C-alpha cells in the first residue's frame, strides 16, 4: 500500500514538474513567463523524479512486475494531473508538492530507520 502511494505520488509530482516547465502552462499557473534556467531545472527535476519512481518500483517488486507497476501508475498519475489542472490548479500543485515531499520523507525513513 505504501509502495503504491509513493509510486503514484512521485509520478504525479514528476508530471507536475514537467508540465510547469512548459511556457504555456507556467503562465497559466503563475501568470509569469518561465525563464530558460527555471524551465530546465523543472524539466530535470521531473525526469529525475520519474526515474527515482522506476528504480524504487523495480527494487521493491522485481524488474518485470515493478516495471508494470511503475508504468501503470505513471499513466494514471498523468491523467490525474491533467484532469485536476483546469478545475483546481492550486490544489493540483499543492498535491504535487505535498505528495512528493511526503514520499521522499517516507523513502528516507524507510532506507535509514535508525535516523528517525
Partner 1 sequence: MAWLHTWAGLIVSWVLFAIFLGGTLACFDKELDYWMRPALHQLAPGPIAMDAAATTLREMAPHAETLYLRPPSARDPSIHGFVFEPGKPTIDVALNPRDGTRIPPTVGGNFFFVLHYNLQAGTPGVYLVGLAGMLMLLALVSGVIIHRRVFKDFFVFRPQAGGQRAWLDGHNLTGVLGLPFHLMIAYTGVIIMMSTYMTAGVQIGYHGDLAAYYAALSSTPHPVEQHRLPSRVASLNKILHDAVQRLGGPAQYLEIEHVHDASITISALAAGNDEVAGGRRNLIYDGTDGHFRGESESPPAAYRTYQFLSGLHRVQFGGAAIRWLYFLLGTAGCVMLATATQVWIEKRQRKAEAAGLRSGYGLVRALNIAVIAGMPLASVALLWANRLLPGNLAVRASWEAQSFYAVWLLATIWAVLRLRRGKPWRELFGMTAALLLALPLLNALTEPRSSLLASIVDHDWVLAGVDATALALGLGFAWLAWLNTRPRKNVRRDARIGAASASSHAARPREKSA
* Among residues 36, 37, 86, 113, the one that binds partner 1 under rule CB under 8 A: 86
Q: Is 90 in the site for partner 1 (CB under 8 A)?
A: no
Quote the CA–CA distance of 70 and 58 in Å, as a whole number: 8
Quote the CA–CA distance of 40 and 84 in Å, as a whole number: 24
Nearest-10 crossing angle of helices 63-87, 36-61: 140
Interacting stretch for partner 1, rule CB under 8 A, among 16-24, 34-42, 47-55, 94-102? 16-24
Q: Looking at residues 22 to 51 of the shown chain, list those that interact with partner 1 (rule: CB under 8 A).
A: 22-25, 27-28, 31
**Rounded to an integer, what is the distance from CA 16 to the centroid of its chain?**
6
For partner 1, the closer CB: 52 or 69:
69
Q: Is residue 12 within 8 Å of 99, Cβ to Cβ? A: yes
Please report, as ranges, the residues that interact with partner 1 according to CB under 8 A.
1, 4, 15, 19, 22-25, 27-28, 31, 61-62, 64-65, 68-69, 71-73, 75-76, 78-79, 81-83, 85-87
Amino acid at each position: 500500500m505504501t509502495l503504491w502511494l509513493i509510486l503514484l505520488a512521485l509520478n504525479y509530482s514528476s508530471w507536475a514538474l514537467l508540465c510547469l516547465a512548459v511556457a504555456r502552462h507556467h503562465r497559466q499557473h503563475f501568470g509569469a513567463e518561465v525563464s530558460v534556467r527555471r524551465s530546465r531545472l523543472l524539466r530535470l527535476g521531473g525526469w529525475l523524479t520519474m526515474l527515482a519512481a522506476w528504480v524504487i518500483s523495480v527494487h521493491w517488486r522485481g524488474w518485470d512486475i515493478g516495471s508494470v507497476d511503475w508504468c501503470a501508475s505513471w499513466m494514471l498519475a498523468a491523467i490525474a494531473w491533467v484532469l485536476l489542472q483546469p478545475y483546481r490548479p492550486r490544489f493540483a500543485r499543492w498535491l504535487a508538492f505535498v505528495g512528493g515531499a511526503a514520499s521522499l520523507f517516507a523513502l528516507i525513513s524507510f532506507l535509514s530507520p535508525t535516523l528517525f
